[in-house]
Chains A and B, each alone.
Chain A
Amino acid sequence: MIYATLILFIPQNTVAYAKQDAWLSFLIAFAGGVLISLVVINLSLCFPGQTLFEYLPLILGRWPGKIIGFFYVWLFIHFCTLVDREYCSTVVAAFMPETPLVVFLIHGTIMFAYITYCGLEVLARINQLFLPLNVSLLTILFVLATPEMKVVNILPVFDTGLLPLAKSTLTPLSWFGEIITLAVVIPYLAEQKNVYRLTIKALFFVLVLIEIATLGVLLVFGPTLTSSYLFPVLSGVKMINIANFIERLEIFPLIVWITSGTVKATLFFWAAALGSAQLFGLKDYRPLILPLAVIVTALGYLLHPSIIDLINFLTQAFPFYALTFEFIIPLLLLMVVLIKGSGKK
Chain B
Amino acid sequence: MKKKLFLVLIFLLITVNISGCWSRKELNEIAIILGTGVDYTKDNKIQLTYQLVRPAAFGGGGMGGGPGGGATMNQNITWVVSATGDTVFDAQRRLSQQISRHLYLGHNVVLILSEKLCRHGVLDVINFFHRQPLSRGTVWVMATPQEAKKVLESHSELQMTSAQAVGFLARLRTGYVLRFRDFSQDLASKGTNPVLTRVELKRLGVTQGPGLEKAHHHQEVVLTGTAIFKGDKLIGWLNCPETQGLRWLKGKVDRMGIIVPSPIYSGKKISLEVMKGKTKVEPIYQKGKIKFYLSTEAEVDLIEEQGEEDFTRPEIIKTLESTAAIEIKQRVKTTLDKVQGEYKVDSFGFGEAFHRKYKREWSKLKNRWDEEFATAQVYLMVKVKLRDTGMQGRRASLKR
Which positions in A face B, CB cutoff 8 Å?
Answer: 93-100, 103, 107, 110, 148, 152, 155-156, 158-159, 220-222, 224-225, 228, 235, 238-239, 241, 244, 247-248
Contacts and interface: CB of A to CB of B under 8 A. Distances in A.
A160 B63 CA distance: 62
A98 B23 contact: yes
B133 A95 contact: yes
Q: Which of B130, B133, B138, B188 has the most A CB atoms < 10 Å from its CB?
A: B133
Interface string B176-197: 0000010011001100000000
Contact of A155 (B23, B136, B181, B356): B356
A225 B184 contact: yes
Given A94-B133, A96-B21, A107-B17, A224 B138 contact: no
A159 B355 CA distance: 9
Contacts of B21: 96, 99
B185 to A, nearest CB: 5
Q: Which of A98, A110, A238, A241 has the most B CB atoms < 10 Å from its CB?
A: A238
A238 B136 CA distance: 6
A224 B171 CA distance: 26
B360 to A, nearest CB: 10
B189 A224 contact: yes
Interface string B292-323: 00000000000000000000000000000000
5 contacts: A97-B23, A99-B22, A222-B185, A239-B137, A244-B171
B222 to A, nearest CB: 20
Contact of B181 (A98, A107, A239): A239
B133 A224 contact: no
Contact of B138 (A94, A110, A241): A241
Nearest to A111: B13
Contacts of A228: 130, 188
Nearest to A155: B356
A225 B23 CA distance: 28
Interface residues of B, number: 22
A110 B189 contact: no
B388 interface: no
B3 interface: no
B352 interface: yes
A23 B198 CA distance: 37
Q: Which of A97, A107, A155 has the most B CB atoms < 10 Å from its CB?
A: A155
B68 to A, nearest CB: 11
A195 B309 CA distance: 75
B368 interface: no
Given A152-B352, A152-B356, A247 B23 contact: no
Nearest to A238: B136
Nearest to B179: A239
Given A98-B22, A239-B138, A225 B17 contact: no
A95 B23 contact: yes
Contacts of B171: 244
Given A241-B138, A244-B171, A159 B359 contact: yes
A224 B182 CA distance: 12
Contacts of A107: 17
